[in-house]
């Protein structure tokens, strides 16, 4: 798979086979992601790989917090509103999902179920948490985003599926305590990784992309 093909064919996977990925494969993917660019080569990313009983225990804790109605408190706050253009894209995605599944994803009950599936990492055998020091500036959040993208592309090139998960950081304080991540760290993103369920991939709703002409302005 060449680079361009990998970028264009990567997609978020939300159903996985239970088979574990060899540790060597996961380490190779992380090693590749480590070649991502960063401001002044600061490499402001740390990675935790979660598997087995410990992953199941974390999922159980997160679902229990959800069931109790515990208010989410992620280290990076969830956006409360979007500019008109970005909101239109969100609306289009929700419409496509509703059309394909018959499910209203704006329904609070559906959102709750969606979070529960998130917290179970979509059945993936491994969960990845990306974090960094809290004192780092927004430039470093940008850098860890570059790392996350490279990680997911490297996984795709290795015939693995991934899905980035903001919801997986909803209860940041509880997660960091459970995983022995220092409070001085900022929990940025969760990523599920594993072998994709091929049947689910075939049925997946593929998101569109805006026309390049709509996002480019030439100045000559």
Q: Which pLDDT belongs to residue 203?
A: 64
Which band of pLDDT confidence, cut at 50, 70 and 90, is reported for residue 202? low
Structure tokens at 130: 């990306």
How confident is the model over 94-115, as pLDDT tens digits? 888 777 777 777 788 888 888 9
pLDDT, mean of residues 64-92: 93
Concatenated DSSP letters for 81-96? ---HHHHHHHHHHHHH
Strands 161-165 and 126-133: unpaired
- Name the β-bridge partners of 47: 130
Q: Which pLDDT belongs to residue 209?
A: 87
Per-residue CA distances from 209 to 89, 165, 202, 212 (Å): 9, 20, 19, 8
Q: Quote the strand ranges of 90-202, DSSP E.
A: 126-133, 161-165, 185-194
Structure tokens at 124: 């993936």
How confident is the model over 110-151, as pLDDT tens digits? 888 889 999 999 999 999 999 999 999 999 999 999 999 999
pLDDT, mean of residues 7-25: 95
| CATH architecture of the domain covering 3-78+118-205 | 3-Layer(aba) Sandwich (3.40)
């Amino acid at each position: 798979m060449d680079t361009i093909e990998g970028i264009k064919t990567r997609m978020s996977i939300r159903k996985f086979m239970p088979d574990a990925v060899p540790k060597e494969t996961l380490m190779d993917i992380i090693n590749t992601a480590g070649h991502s660019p960063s401001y002044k080569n600061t490499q402001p990313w740390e990675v935790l790989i979660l598997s087995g009983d410990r992953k199941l225990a974390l999922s159980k804790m997160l679902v229990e917090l959800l069931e109790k109605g515990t208010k989410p408190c992620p280290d990076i706050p969830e956006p409360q509103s979007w500019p008109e253009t970005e909101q239109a894209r969100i609306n289009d995605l929700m419409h496509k999902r509703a059309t394909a599944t018959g499910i209203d994803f704006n329904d609070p009950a559906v959102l709750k179920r969606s979070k529960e599936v998130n917290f179970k990492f979509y059945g993936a055998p491994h969960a990845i948490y990306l974090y960094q020091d809290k004192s780092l500036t927004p430039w470093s959040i940008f850098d860890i985003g570059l790392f996350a993208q490279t990680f997911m592309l490297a996984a795709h090139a290795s015939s693995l599926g991934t899905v980035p998960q903001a919801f997986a950081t909803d209860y940041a304080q509880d997660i960091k305590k459970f995983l022995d991540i220092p409070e001085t760290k900022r929990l940025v993103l969760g990523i599920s990784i594993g072998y994709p369920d091929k049947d689910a991939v075939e049925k997946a709703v593929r998101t569109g992309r805006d026309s390049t002409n709509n996002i480019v302005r030439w100045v000559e």
